[in-house]
Amino acid sequence: MKTIIEKVDVVVAGGGTAGHIAAIQAGRLGVKTSVIEAGTMLGGTMTAGGVYMPNHFFNTRGPVVQGIPWELYIRSKEIEGLPIPDYQKRRPMETPGYYSYINVPVYAAIAEEEALLAGAILHYHEFIAEVKAEGNLWEVTSFGRGIKRVTKAKEIIDCSGDSDVVRILGLKVLRSTVSQPGTLQYKIEGIEHEQIWKEEVQKIYEEAMDDGTLKKGDWAYPNLEPFQYYLAHGGHNGTHIYDADTSEADGQTRANIEGRARMLRMFKFVRTSIPGCERATLKMMAPYALARETYHTLGEILIESDDFLKAVDFEDKVCNAFNYIDMHSQETGCEVQFLKSEDLLPKVPFRALIPKDSRRITVAGRNISANRIAFAGIRAQCTCMAMGQAMGAAAALAVQKNAASRDVDSRDIVAVTIEHGAVPL
């Protein structure tokens, strides 16, 4: 095994939903940035995870997340030759926001291209094993096949989704005794929907549950939607994996195995039992299962439920957090709760992205310091991307000022992100 020594200004741990945006923002500000990503591409949940529907760039009042995330989305649509949706003409009746859809191969390639153009150094197929402080520098040890890499950096942005770096450092984390179920994303196509009758397929589904052909969790939302909804979506984002823990390899393996077993069981059931599905094909399966929540970082502030539901206007806000409470559970399936007014627009405070009692490290994305209810609203992909842009700016400003990121003024962070297209707060 060869050992490689690398010196950069900023290390981004994880190139997922928040991490790839953080790396692009930091790189565009002229600081040397590297990304250590255990997977094979940028984008995380949006790409390799198969949740190809970032939400929400807009609410009914206008744009809530723009900047680098919106730029990449627009570029992907242009390459596909598709028009940019006119959100002013949309009618979001079921939810107060707007889902957008990306082409995974196109978006992943664009994200990579923009990261490289920004000067970011990408290290795929590597995991971080050790992090220690050496004066005002971090020494980050990562391993890949045949490689031991020791990276010296001034700032770390933990975008791992599971607070990996925060936990390695022994900083405080939170974990609920009951977590939201995970999901393996897949897509069934070739269903002849004109043959689907709502009440008939519902009865067929219920009989399959009663006789054990299907198991609880194979269809995630029986309390919210009829089984026809599953068929209309081709099964995408429609399965629960209970006790999904992707924060370590054994848990990820178990979630992958369970997710694929549920997928195959549902596909065989649909093909053999539902009229109009005889020609259905299984067209897409994400490489790995996803967890909705594992470890949260305990930050300098914990975002509480009312902070989100009442859209508290934090003095140190760095981005918007528009979504609705989207709480999945093993007992009920899924429950949603909308903000009481369309005028409410929750915010993310900088202090929730600074691990408690730390220096020169921030977090973004699912690592945020929030209780379970607030987190169920904040974890939307566009919000995670906006957090990534803000923390990329924070790390770059810290390097430029020769200071610690926690000492950077949140107003300066917002000013930089606005210069790079973000929504004014």
Q: Measured between alpha carbons, how far is residue 269 from residues 183, 212, 272, 299, 341 in Å?
A: 19, 11, 5, 46, 42
Within 10 angstroms of residue 146's Cβ, the number of other Cβ atoms is 7
**Closest of 338, 358, 347 to residue 386, by C-alpha:** 347
pLDDT digits (tens, 9 = 90+) for 50-64: 999 998 999 988 999
Query: For residue 33, what pLDDT is reported?
Result: 98
Given a cut of 80, whether residue 420 has pLDDT beyond it is yes
Query: For residue 90, what pLDDT is reported?
Result: 75
Question: What are the sequence ranges of the domains in the chain?
Answer: 2-177+293-419, 186-285
DSSP structure string for 116-157: HHTT-EEEES-EEEEEEEETTEEEEEEEETTEEEEEEESEEE
φ/ψ of residue 244, rounded to 5: -70, 120
pLDDT digits (tens, 9 = 90+) for 382-413: 999 999 999 999 999 999 999 999 999 999 99
pLDDT digits (tens, 9 = 90+) for 97-107: 888 999 999 99
Query: For residue 332, what pLDDT is reported?
Result: 85
Q: What is the mean pLDDT of residues 163-184?
A: 93
Query: For residue 329, what pLDDT is reported?
Result: 86
Of 45-49, 168-172, 180-184, 330-334, the least confident: 330-334
Task: Look at strands 325-329 and 333-337 and give their pairing.
Answer: antiparallel
pLDDT digits (tens, 9 = 90+) for 313-370: 999 999 999 998 988 988 888 888 989 998 999 999 999 999 999 999 999 999 999 9
pLDDT digits (tens, 9 = 90+) for 230-274: 999 999 999 999 989 999 999 999 999 999 999 999 999 999 999
For 35, the token pair is 């990304």
Contacts of 32 (CB under 8 A, 6+ apart): 7, 8, 9, 10, 119, 121
CATH label, 2-177+293-419, candidates 3.50.50.60, 1.10.10.10, 3.40.50.720, 3.20.20.70: 3.50.50.60
Angle of helix 67-80 relative to helix 381-401, nearest 10 degrees?
120
Given a cut of 90, whether residue 166 has pLDDT beyond it is yes
pLDDT digits (tens, 9 = 90+) for 3-53: 999 999 999 999 999 999 999 999 999 999 999 999 999 999 999 999 999
Query: For residue 151, what pLDDT is reported?
Result: 98
The Cα–Cα gap between 353 and 372 comes to 16
How high is the mean pLDDT of the chain? 95
Contacts of 328 (CB under 8 A, 6+ apart): 180, 181, 220, 240, 292, 334
pLDDT-above-90 percentage for the chain? 88
Given a cut of 80, whether residue 91 has pLDDT beyond it is no
**Closest of 382, 379, 380, 381 to residue 369, by C-alpha:** 379
